[in-house]
Amino acid sequence: MLELGYFAAHEQRDPSTLLEYSILAEKIGFDMVWSSDHFHPWSHTGASSGFAWSWMATVAALTSKIKIGTGVTAPILRYHPAIIAQFISSMDYMFPGRIFLGLGTGEAMNEVPLGFEWPPIHERLKRLEEAVQIIRMLWTGEWINFKGQYFKLNQARLYTTPKTYVPIYIAACGPKTARIAGKYGDGLLTLPIKKEVYIDKLFPAMRKGAMEVGRTAENIKTVIELEVSYDEDYDKAMSSCRYWAGTKIPNCLDIADPRELETLGQKISDEKLRESWYVFTEPDELIRLIENYLQIGFKSIVFLSSSPDEKKFLEVCKNKIIPYFRELRQ
């Protein structure tokens, strides 16, 4: 069944504002809230940097049914995977059946400011793979010893374990991470890229990873994060996307300073931004975009909105987008 998610971007909006929007997201019918989890933001001017974990607990306490999780947490350096496992365990214990965990290989902005050396991608991939195993093992409540290349556990045990099964989503835009999603994940979260990449690389790698451990990829949920901006005035909606221009720099994952990201992002053209950001002025335009991704094979849609008036975007979701797809789900 199709799920619709709202992305809470702590880089662009302060925690109190995101709390208001997330409570509203539940009221208008969204199924999930995905929270970014960064130390530094993607830009400098007008940016924010709320702490995802405490914020998520607040959202869960002030809502009643919407699912909440990270999109995504990097379990590589600043977070030990055992601490992530403990956090999510407590969340699911208090809010059973409403918590999920998104994991990825991370960005320099999260690790370098805290004094860590930024690892190459092959090391980050291995750290991610070890981390998923550790988290799963600790959730059993058993005594765990683990000796990996990067992480170790010495007779570790979580005394408060999840009350329900907690799904793990792996963020992947390349086949190596998609393979990890196939081996260990309940879902694969990705971004707008060429259709051929999904069909020829990501989905086959996910299926290959699943086969390696005797799983079936049909049970792995495919999630697309759509970056959108809405206003009746196209230029106004387009201008609002410029905050995220730094994410379109080829080596953006390796840059830790938001000031540098912002400066380099100023050189990114609107045409380049439009390769991933979808700017629309009519609800039917977004409906058609979503239907295209459903035809590709995605089962869940997450909206990261940079709309100049976010409440106006949520109103469109309430009146047009969610009712349209709710009919399809029935």
**Angle made by CA atoms 266, 226, 259, in degrees to the nearest 5:** 25
Does 275 qualify as catalytic in the annotation? no
CA 107 to chain centre: 13
Longest dimension (CA), the chain: 59
Strand ranges in 130-190 using DSSP code E only, listed in sequence order: 144-147, 152-156, 168-171, 187-190
Burial class (CB in 10 A: 0-12, 13-18, 19+), 176: middle
Say how many C-beta atoms besides its own lie within 10 A of residue 192's C-beta: 18
- Residue type (1 letter), 115: G
**CA trace torsion 47, 244, 57, 83 (10° rounding):** -100
What DSSP character marks residue 246? G
Catalytic residue among 11, 107, 129, 225: 107
Q: Which helix (H) or strand (E) holds 121?
A: helix 121-138
Half-sphere CA count of 188, side-chain side, radius 13 A: 30
Q: Tell me the sheet residues that pair with 184.
A: none
CA 180 to chain centre: 16
Does 107 qualify as catalytic in the annotation? yes
Q: Tell me the sheet residues that pair with 143.
A: none
Catalytic residue among 10, 11, 26, 38: 38
Distance CA(32)–CA(98), nearest Å, equals 9
Cβ–Cβ < 8 Å for 69, 8: no
Closest-CA residue to 139 (of 153, 124, 125): 153
Which positions are catalytic? 38, 107
